[in-house]
Amino acid sequence: MAGVRDATGRAASGEELLEQVSTRLRRIVPFDGATWFATDPSTVLATLPVRVENVEDGHCQTFWEREHQVEDVLLFRDLARSRAGVGTLHHATAGTPERSARAREFLRPQGYGDELRAAFRTGSSTWGVVGLFREQKRTPFTDRELRVLGDLGPEIAEGLRRIATRQADTAAEGEVAGTLLFDADGRVLSLDAAASRWLDELAGLGWKSATPELSMISAVVSRAPMVAAGREGRPAVSRMRARSGRWIVVHASSLHHPDGSTGPIAVTIGPAKSSQIAPIIIEAYGLTPREQDITRAVARGLSNAEIATALHLSPYTVRDHLKAVFAKVGVVTRGELVAKLFADHYEPTIHAPGAATHASF
Protein backbone atom coordinates (compact mmCIF):
# COMPACT_ATOMS: atom_id res chain seq x y z
CA MET A 1 0.00 0.00 0.00
CA ALA A 2 2.93 2.32 0.62
CA GLY A 3 3.88 2.09 -3.05
CA VAL A 4 0.42 3.21 -4.15
CA ARG A 5 0.49 6.10 -1.69
CA ASP A 6 3.91 7.13 -2.95
CA ALA A 7 2.62 7.14 -6.53
CA THR A 8 -0.30 9.44 -5.70
CA GLY A 9 2.05 11.98 -4.16
CA ARG A 10 4.82 11.95 -6.77
CA ALA A 11 3.00 11.66 -10.12
CA ALA A 12 3.53 14.68 -12.35
CA SER A 13 0.40 14.13 -14.45
CA GLY A 14 -2.93 12.38 -14.24
CA GLU A 15 -1.84 9.81 -16.81
CA GLU A 16 1.28 9.01 -14.81
CA LEU A 17 -0.72 8.78 -11.59
CA LEU A 18 -3.16 6.23 -13.01
CA GLU A 19 -0.35 4.22 -14.60
CA GLN A 20 1.69 4.07 -11.39
CA VAL A 21 -1.30 3.36 -9.15
CA SER A 22 -2.48 0.57 -11.45
CA THR A 23 0.95 -1.07 -11.61
CA ARG A 24 1.45 -1.00 -7.85
CA LEU A 25 -2.11 -1.86 -6.86
CA ARG A 26 -2.02 -4.98 -9.05
CA ARG A 27 0.62 -6.43 -6.72
CA ILE A 28 -1.69 -6.37 -3.70
CA VAL A 29 -5.09 -6.63 -5.40
CA PRO A 30 -4.54 -8.78 -8.51
CA PHE A 31 -6.78 -7.95 -11.48
CA ASP A 32 -6.86 -8.79 -15.18
CA GLY A 33 -8.52 -5.72 -16.68
CA ALA A 34 -9.59 -2.26 -15.57
CA THR A 35 -11.22 1.05 -16.44
CA TRP A 36 -9.83 4.10 -14.63
CA PHE A 37 -11.43 7.53 -15.05
CA ALA A 38 -10.95 10.92 -13.49
CA THR A 39 -14.34 12.58 -12.93
CA ASP A 40 -15.77 16.07 -12.94
CA PRO A 41 -16.53 16.50 -9.21
CA SER A 42 -19.71 18.45 -9.94
CA THR A 43 -21.36 15.84 -12.18
CA VAL A 44 -19.35 12.62 -11.56
CA LEU A 45 -19.08 12.31 -15.34
CA ALA A 46 -15.87 10.74 -16.58
CA THR A 47 -13.23 13.13 -17.85
CA LEU A 48 -9.49 12.98 -18.48
CA PRO A 49 -7.16 11.34 -17.61
CA VAL A 50 -8.40 7.85 -18.45
CA ARG A 51 -6.66 4.48 -18.42
CA VAL A 52 -8.22 1.31 -19.85
CA GLU A 53 -6.58 -2.11 -19.53
CA ASN A 54 -7.52 -5.30 -21.38
CA VAL A 55 -10.92 -4.19 -22.66
CA GLU A 56 -11.74 -5.38 -26.16
CA ASP A 57 -12.28 -2.88 -28.97
CA GLY A 58 -15.83 -1.82 -29.70
CA HIS A 59 -17.07 -1.67 -26.12
CA CYS A 60 -16.78 2.08 -25.51
CA GLN A 61 -20.25 3.28 -26.54
CA THR A 62 -22.09 0.30 -25.07
CA PHE A 63 -20.12 0.69 -21.84
CA TRP A 64 -21.45 4.22 -21.34
CA GLU A 65 -24.96 3.31 -22.45
CA ARG A 66 -25.09 0.63 -19.76
CA GLU A 67 -23.60 3.01 -17.22
CA HIS A 68 -26.11 5.81 -17.78
CA GLN A 69 -29.21 4.24 -19.32
CA VAL A 70 -29.54 0.81 -17.68
CA GLU A 71 -30.44 0.26 -14.04
CA ASP A 72 -27.76 -1.92 -12.50
CA VAL A 73 -25.77 -2.49 -9.34
CA LEU A 74 -22.64 -0.50 -8.45
CA LEU A 75 -23.13 2.28 -10.99
CA PHE A 76 -20.44 4.93 -10.56
CA ARG A 77 -22.98 7.63 -9.71
CA ASP A 78 -24.44 5.44 -6.96
CA LEU A 79 -21.02 4.54 -5.57
CA ALA A 80 -20.17 8.24 -5.39
CA ARG A 81 -23.20 8.79 -3.13
CA SER A 82 -22.83 5.61 -1.09
CA ARG A 83 -21.37 5.46 2.38
CA ALA A 84 -18.61 2.96 1.59
CA GLY A 85 -17.72 4.11 -1.93
CA VAL A 86 -16.57 0.59 -2.87
CA GLY A 87 -18.20 -2.72 -3.74
CA THR A 88 -17.91 -5.91 -5.75
CA LEU A 89 -20.29 -7.34 -8.31
CA HIS A 90 -20.21 -10.72 -6.55
CA HIS A 91 -21.31 -9.20 -3.23
CA ALA A 92 -23.84 -6.79 -4.77
CA THR A 93 -25.65 -9.65 -6.56
CA ALA A 94 -25.42 -12.11 -3.64
CA GLY A 95 -23.16 -14.37 -5.67
CA THR A 96 -25.31 -14.34 -8.83
CA PRO A 97 -23.58 -11.83 -11.13
CA GLU A 98 -25.77 -12.86 -14.08
CA ARG A 99 -28.43 -10.61 -12.51
CA SER A 100 -26.33 -7.65 -13.67
CA ALA A 101 -26.69 -6.41 -17.25
CA ARG A 102 -23.09 -5.22 -17.13
CA ALA A 103 -21.96 -8.72 -16.19
CA ARG A 104 -24.01 -10.36 -18.95
CA GLU A 105 -23.25 -7.92 -21.74
CA PHE A 106 -19.83 -6.44 -20.91
CA LEU A 107 -17.85 -8.64 -18.51
CA ARG A 108 -18.82 -12.21 -19.44
CA PRO A 109 -18.28 -11.79 -23.21
CA GLN A 110 -14.70 -10.78 -22.43
CA GLY A 111 -14.10 -13.65 -20.01
CA TYR A 112 -14.44 -11.65 -16.79
CA GLY A 113 -16.35 -12.97 -13.78
CA ASP A 114 -16.16 -10.37 -11.01
CA GLU A 115 -15.66 -6.61 -10.81
CA LEU A 116 -14.44 -4.46 -7.93
CA ARG A 117 -15.54 -0.82 -8.22
CA ALA A 118 -14.55 2.25 -6.21
CA ALA A 119 -15.19 5.97 -6.16
CA PHE A 120 -12.19 8.09 -5.20
CA ARG A 121 -13.57 10.75 -2.86
CA THR A 122 -12.38 13.57 -0.67
CA GLY A 123 -15.25 14.65 1.53
CA SER A 124 -18.34 14.72 -0.68
CA SER A 125 -16.41 15.26 -3.93
CA THR A 126 -15.58 12.41 -6.30
CA TRP A 127 -12.39 12.94 -8.32
CA GLY A 128 -12.17 9.55 -9.99
CA VAL A 129 -13.60 6.03 -10.30
CA VAL A 130 -12.27 2.59 -11.16
CA GLY A 131 -13.58 -0.81 -12.16
CA LEU A 132 -11.20 -3.75 -11.69
CA PHE A 133 -12.01 -7.00 -13.53
CA ARG A 134 -11.04 -10.54 -12.63
CA GLU A 135 -11.25 -13.48 -15.04
CA GLN A 136 -13.96 -16.10 -14.53
CA LYS A 137 -11.44 -18.84 -13.78
CA ARG A 138 -10.17 -16.89 -10.75
CA THR A 139 -11.83 -16.47 -7.36
CA PRO A 140 -13.94 -13.33 -6.79
CA PHE A 141 -12.49 -10.29 -5.05
CA THR A 142 -12.25 -10.73 -1.28
CA ASP A 143 -13.38 -8.55 1.62
CA ARG A 144 -9.73 -7.80 2.36
CA GLU A 145 -9.14 -6.55 -1.19
CA LEU A 146 -12.29 -4.46 -0.92
CA ARG A 147 -10.95 -2.82 2.23
CA VAL A 148 -7.55 -2.21 0.65
CA LEU A 149 -9.05 -0.25 -2.23
CA GLY A 150 -11.41 1.54 0.14
CA ASP A 151 -8.48 2.62 2.31
CA LEU A 152 -6.48 3.85 -0.69
CA GLY A 153 -9.39 5.67 -2.32
CA PRO A 154 -9.06 9.00 -0.48
CA GLU A 155 -5.33 9.18 -1.26
CA ILE A 156 -5.90 8.48 -4.95
CA ALA A 157 -8.57 11.19 -4.88
CA GLU A 158 -6.10 13.61 -3.28
CA GLY A 159 -3.62 12.88 -6.05
CA LEU A 160 -6.19 13.57 -8.75
CA ARG A 161 -7.33 16.69 -6.95
CA ARG A 162 -3.76 17.93 -6.62
CA ILE A 163 -3.20 17.53 -10.35
CA ALA A 164 -6.44 19.41 -11.04
CA THR A 165 -4.82 22.52 -9.53
CA ARG A 166 -2.27 22.64 -12.35
CA GLN A 167 -2.42 25.67 -14.57
CA ALA A 168 -4.74 25.95 -17.56
CA ASP A 169 -5.65 28.79 -19.86
CA THR A 170 -8.85 30.47 -20.97
CA ALA A 171 -10.11 30.87 -24.48
CA ALA A 172 -9.31 34.01 -26.39
CA GLU A 173 -12.06 36.58 -26.77
CA GLY A 174 -14.38 35.88 -29.65
CA GLU A 175 -13.90 32.10 -29.79
CA VAL A 176 -17.20 30.34 -30.37
CA ALA A 177 -18.50 26.91 -29.44
CA GLY A 178 -19.11 24.23 -32.04
CA THR A 179 -22.07 21.89 -32.50
CA LEU A 180 -22.30 18.17 -33.25
CA LEU A 181 -25.34 15.94 -33.78
CA PHE A 182 -25.29 12.31 -32.58
CA ASP A 183 -27.79 9.56 -33.35
CA ALA A 184 -29.32 7.32 -30.69
CA ASP A 185 -26.43 4.88 -31.05
CA GLY A 186 -23.82 7.53 -30.30
CA ARG A 187 -22.58 7.98 -33.87
CA VAL A 188 -21.70 11.43 -35.17
CA LEU A 189 -24.25 12.54 -37.76
CA SER A 190 -22.82 15.97 -38.54
CA LEU A 191 -20.69 18.74 -37.10
CA ASP A 192 -19.75 22.30 -37.95
CA ALA A 193 -16.29 23.73 -38.57
CA ALA A 194 -16.00 25.13 -35.04
CA ALA A 195 -16.70 21.70 -33.52
CA SER A 196 -14.05 20.15 -35.74
CA ARG A 197 -11.49 22.72 -34.53
CA TRP A 198 -12.36 22.08 -30.87
CA LEU A 199 -12.06 18.32 -31.37
CA ASP A 200 -8.65 18.87 -32.97
CA GLU A 201 -7.59 20.74 -29.84
CA LEU A 202 -9.22 18.32 -27.43
CA ALA A 203 -8.10 15.04 -28.94
CA GLY A 204 -5.53 15.83 -31.63
CA LEU A 205 -5.77 15.71 -35.41
CA GLY A 206 -6.51 11.97 -35.32
CA TRP A 207 -9.71 12.36 -33.28
CA LYS A 208 -11.84 10.51 -35.84
CA SER A 209 -10.32 7.27 -34.58
CA ALA A 210 -10.96 5.96 -31.06
CA THR A 211 -9.39 8.20 -28.45
CA PRO A 212 -9.90 8.65 -24.68
CA GLU A 213 -11.31 12.11 -25.33
CA LEU A 214 -14.05 10.78 -27.62
CA SER A 215 -14.92 8.20 -24.99
CA MET A 216 -15.50 11.02 -22.51
CA ILE A 217 -17.82 12.74 -24.99
CA SER A 218 -19.69 9.43 -25.33
CA ALA A 219 -20.24 9.48 -21.57
CA VAL A 220 -21.89 12.91 -21.81
CA VAL A 221 -24.00 11.88 -24.81
CA SER A 222 -25.22 8.75 -23.00
CA ARG A 223 -26.46 10.78 -20.04
CA ALA A 224 -28.51 13.24 -22.14
CA PRO A 225 -31.55 10.94 -22.71
CA MET A 226 -31.68 10.20 -18.98
CA VAL A 227 -31.74 13.91 -18.19
CA ALA A 228 -34.50 14.52 -20.76
CA ALA A 229 -36.57 11.70 -19.26
CA GLY A 230 -36.19 13.09 -15.75
CA ARG A 231 -34.29 10.01 -14.59
CA GLU A 232 -31.03 11.84 -13.91
CA GLY A 233 -30.79 15.00 -11.83
CA ARG A 234 -27.28 16.03 -12.78
CA PRO A 235 -26.83 17.73 -16.18
CA ALA A 236 -25.11 16.12 -19.15
CA VAL A 237 -22.13 18.45 -18.90
CA SER A 238 -18.45 17.75 -18.38
CA ARG A 239 -15.36 19.93 -18.19
CA MET A 240 -12.27 18.45 -19.82
CA ARG A 241 -8.61 19.37 -20.15
CA ALA A 242 -7.63 19.52 -23.81
CA ARG A 243 -4.28 18.24 -25.02
CA SER A 244 -3.35 21.90 -25.46
CA GLY A 245 -3.70 22.31 -21.69
CA ARG A 246 -6.82 24.42 -21.42
CA TRP A 247 -10.32 23.58 -20.20
CA ILE A 248 -13.13 22.76 -22.63
CA VAL A 249 -16.81 22.27 -21.78
CA VAL A 250 -18.97 19.63 -23.46
CA HIS A 251 -22.77 19.78 -23.07
CA ALA A 252 -25.32 17.33 -24.52
CA SER A 253 -29.10 17.59 -24.82
CA SER A 254 -31.76 15.39 -26.42
CA LEU A 255 -33.74 16.98 -29.26
CA HIS A 256 -37.26 16.16 -30.48
CA HIS A 257 -38.89 16.29 -33.89
CA PRO A 258 -41.91 18.58 -34.39
CA ASP A 259 -44.24 15.56 -33.99
CA GLY A 260 -42.79 14.90 -30.54
CA SER A 261 -40.74 11.84 -31.48
CA THR A 262 -37.18 11.50 -30.24
CA GLY A 263 -34.62 13.27 -32.36
CA PRO A 264 -30.82 13.38 -32.39
CA ILE A 265 -28.63 14.43 -29.48
CA ALA A 266 -27.05 17.86 -29.83
CA VAL A 267 -23.61 18.45 -28.35
CA THR A 268 -21.94 21.81 -27.93
CA ILE A 269 -18.20 21.96 -27.38
CA GLY A 270 -16.25 25.10 -26.66
CA PRO A 271 -14.04 27.09 -24.32
CA ALA A 272 -14.74 26.95 -20.60
CA LYS A 273 -15.43 30.26 -18.91
CA SER A 274 -13.56 31.07 -15.72
CA SER A 275 -16.86 30.84 -13.82
CA GLN A 276 -17.22 27.23 -15.01
CA ILE A 277 -13.71 26.22 -13.99
CA ALA A 278 -13.39 28.22 -10.77
CA PRO A 279 -15.49 25.71 -8.76
CA ILE A 280 -13.14 22.88 -9.73
CA ILE A 281 -10.05 24.92 -8.93
CA ILE A 282 -11.41 26.12 -5.58
CA GLU A 283 -12.52 22.63 -4.63
CA ALA A 284 -9.19 21.18 -5.73
CA TYR A 285 -7.42 23.12 -2.98
CA GLY A 286 -9.57 21.41 -0.36
CA LEU A 287 -11.34 24.54 0.84
CA THR A 288 -14.29 23.99 3.15
CA PRO A 289 -17.71 25.34 2.09
CA ARG A 290 -17.26 28.35 4.40
CA GLU A 291 -13.74 28.97 3.08
CA GLN A 292 -15.12 28.83 -0.45
CA ASP A 293 -17.76 31.43 0.46
CA ILE A 294 -15.09 33.75 1.83
CA THR A 295 -12.81 33.20 -1.17
CA ARG A 296 -15.59 34.15 -3.58
CA ALA A 297 -16.29 37.24 -1.51
CA VAL A 298 -12.61 38.21 -1.64
CA ALA A 299 -12.70 37.78 -5.41
CA ARG A 300 -15.58 40.28 -5.48
CA GLY A 301 -13.41 42.79 -3.63
CA LEU A 302 -15.23 42.73 -0.28
CA SER A 303 -13.37 43.73 2.89
CA ASN A 304 -13.28 41.51 5.98
CA ALA A 305 -15.97 43.64 7.61
CA GLU A 306 -18.20 43.42 4.54
CA ILE A 307 -17.68 39.66 4.33
CA ALA A 308 -18.56 39.33 8.01
CA THR A 309 -21.81 41.21 7.48
CA ALA A 310 -22.75 39.28 4.36
CA LEU A 311 -22.06 35.87 5.91
CA HIS A 312 -23.26 36.73 9.44
CA LEU A 313 -19.85 36.07 10.97
CA SER A 314 -17.56 38.05 13.21
CA PRO A 315 -14.59 39.82 11.56
CA TYR A 316 -12.27 37.65 13.68
CA THR A 317 -13.84 34.48 12.29
CA VAL A 318 -13.46 35.80 8.76
CA ARG A 319 -9.81 36.58 9.46
CA ASP A 320 -9.18 33.06 10.79
CA HIS A 321 -10.87 31.46 7.77
CA LEU A 322 -8.85 33.66 5.45
CA LYS A 323 -5.61 32.59 7.14
CA ALA A 324 -6.59 28.96 6.58
CA VAL A 325 -7.33 29.69 2.90
CA PHE A 326 -3.94 31.39 2.48
CA ALA A 327 -2.20 28.36 3.97
CA LYS A 328 -4.00 25.86 1.72
CA VAL A 329 -3.50 27.83 -1.49
CA GLY A 330 0.06 28.88 -0.62
CA VAL A 331 -0.31 32.68 -0.69
CA VAL A 332 0.09 35.50 1.83
CA THR A 333 -2.11 38.32 0.51
CA ARG A 334 -5.62 38.77 -0.82
CA GLY A 335 -4.28 39.87 -4.20
CA GLU A 336 -2.15 36.75 -4.47
CA LEU A 337 -5.18 34.63 -3.60
CA VAL A 338 -7.29 36.10 -6.38
CA ALA A 339 -4.43 35.78 -8.85
CA LYS A 340 -3.78 32.19 -7.85
CA LEU A 341 -7.36 31.04 -8.17
CA PHE A 342 -8.78 33.24 -10.90
CA ALA A 343 -5.79 34.28 -13.02
CA ASP A 344 -2.84 31.91 -12.76
CA HIS A 345 -5.00 28.93 -13.65
CA TYR A 346 -5.88 30.49 -16.97
CA GLU A 347 -2.42 31.39 -18.25
CA PRO A 348 -1.34 29.46 -21.36
CA THR A 349 -0.03 25.98 -20.69
CA ILE A 350 1.25 23.99 -23.64
CA HIS A 351 1.71 20.25 -23.26
CA ALA A 352 4.90 18.71 -24.54
CA PRO A 353 4.60 17.57 -28.18
CA GLY A 354 3.70 13.92 -28.59
CA ALA A 355 2.48 13.42 -25.02
CA ALA A 356 1.08 9.91 -24.55
CA THR A 357 -2.49 9.28 -23.42
CA HIS A 358 -2.09 5.67 -22.13
CA ALA A 359 -5.53 4.61 -23.35
CA SER A 360 -7.76 4.14 -26.38
CA PHE A 361 -11.16 3.49 -24.78
Dump pLDDT digits (tens) for 233-251.
888 998 887 877 678 889 9
The residues facing 51 across adjacent strands are 36
- What average pLDDT score do residues 224-238 get? 87
User: Given a cut of 60, is residue 343 above it in pLDDT?
Assistant: no
Asked if 180 and 195 count as a contact pair (C-beta separation under 8 A), the reply is yes
pLDDT (0 to 100) of residue 351 = 27
Q: How confident is the model at residue 165 (pLDDT cuts 50, 70, 90)?
A: low
Question: What's the pLDDT score for residue 46?
Answer: 82
Query: Per-residue pLDDT averaged across 185-208, rounded?
Result: 85
Mean pLDDT along residues 280-292: 81
pTM comes to: 0.64
pLDDT at 136 over 70: yes
- Where would I find the H helices in the chain? 2-10, 14-28, 60-69, 76-81, 89-92, 101-102, 143-164, 193-203, 212-228, 274-284, 289-299, 304-311, 315-329, 334-342
Across the range 49-75, mean pLDDT stands at: 84
Nearest Cα to Cα of residue 175 among 263, 242, 227: 242
Rounded average pLDDT over 308-322: 94
CA distance 359 to 107: 19
**292: exposed, middle or buried (Cβ count in 10 Å: 0-12, 13-18, 19+):** middle
7 has pLDDT over 90: no
Q: What is the DSSP string of 271-302?
A: EPPHHHHHHHHHHHTT--HHHHHHHHHHHTT-
